[in-house]
Chains A and B, each alone.
Chain A
């Protein structure tokens, strides 16, 4: 299991555990983390699981693919560290990952 930390817009953090191979979005939904909607269920088709990757983790998580970058056009307040959490696969390297959820998804 990999530990993931979600920090909401107000600065409240919660840590959840996610199995390797699942996605960051799935971990958020399973644990009812507020601030992630995932309307389309992980098809990279709605941009409602938008997160900001913590500065310290950006290099490890890496940039979005071009399909994800296209879908990010539909998110609000997109920043250089924006990702769609349904497209981030949980690996051992991501143990301790910190992501920030935006003020709102849509």
Chain B
């Protein structure tokens, strides 16, 4: 078993609001770890709209999603936050009291934390693979239909059908082609959004007869006890045909789901986490929710609201982390102690 990571604050979600919380906590000498299900930092800003300008960040007439994330990363650099990417918080167990909260938090990768505060900044929830609504697909999931490849070896010698036209679909087509018995790539049109180089490689494998490319969409599955035997498909000319396969990997991008947060014992309201507007604390003392994931009277889902919420939550976290200390309010413009923390002393 790996060592338990002890921390003052654990932030769930490395989007703009989670990142700025690191800053506000850091000013109060509170050290943060962050967990995010995506392999990269930035949440929706980086995943959904990295190139789109945002016009309502105070002080920035226009900044792109990625630009905002890059700036936030620079801003929180003095506080050395530690990131745990491609991990999802799977369980949260309270092991403290209401006045001295302590939580044991475990991720799906087995990382364990012991934290004095848990700050949920999970936005629209966790990004999870979009499931194509093919009838009965759930009975095949994790047995012969996979939305991600955890171990390539599991697919050795199998007839693999990969569905989609983006980078994930093409990358896995190329990676699995040498080890699968046969790889078939199916896409709804003969044009691909994936990197041109991968598409070229795929086309030459098809030309050499080493894999198949079919144009169409999967409409149904045939098999027994979750083990796939063939996929029923419809071509662009509406002709129906079947592809024999015993594993299918659909790659239809990501969608946001609340995910395991629903199981953490918090009161929820329509998949949002209700908080008070003084501390942005949930029904469980020591667990906070900031940004798009929370709800309260008058809530606006704006990045700037999430920044404010993080600043106020940090004040309360301070009381849990340093119960015997008095918190004096200070400005970064004039406080020499804050400036020292930021590494900008005159």
Contact = CB atoms under 8 A, between A and B. Distances in A.
Q: Do A and B come from one complex?
A: yes
Interface residues of A, number: 17
B193 A70 contact: yes
Contact of A104 (B49, B133, B191): B133
Contacts of B252: 73-74, 76, 106
B255 A46 contact: yes
Contacts of B52: 43, 45
A40 interface: yes
A69 interface: yes
A24 interface: no
Contacts of A69: 189, 191
A73 B164 contact: yes
Nearest to A75: B252
Interface string B121-159: 000100000111100000000000000000000000000
Interface bracket on B: 20 to 34
A43 B48 contact: yes
Contacts of A92: none
Contact of A106 (B44, B188, B255): B255
A54 B12 CA distance: 43
Contacts of B217: 77-78
B166 interface: yes
Nearest to A40: B48
A45 B49 contact: yes
Interface of A: 39-40, 43, 45-48, 69-70, 73-74, 76-78, 103-104, 106
Interface of B: 44, 48-49, 52, 124, 130-133, 164-166, 187-189, 191, 193, 217, 252-253, 255-256
10 contacts: A46-B253, A73-B165, A73-B166, A73-B188, A74-B252, A76-B133, A77-B217, A103-B133, A106-B131, A106-B252
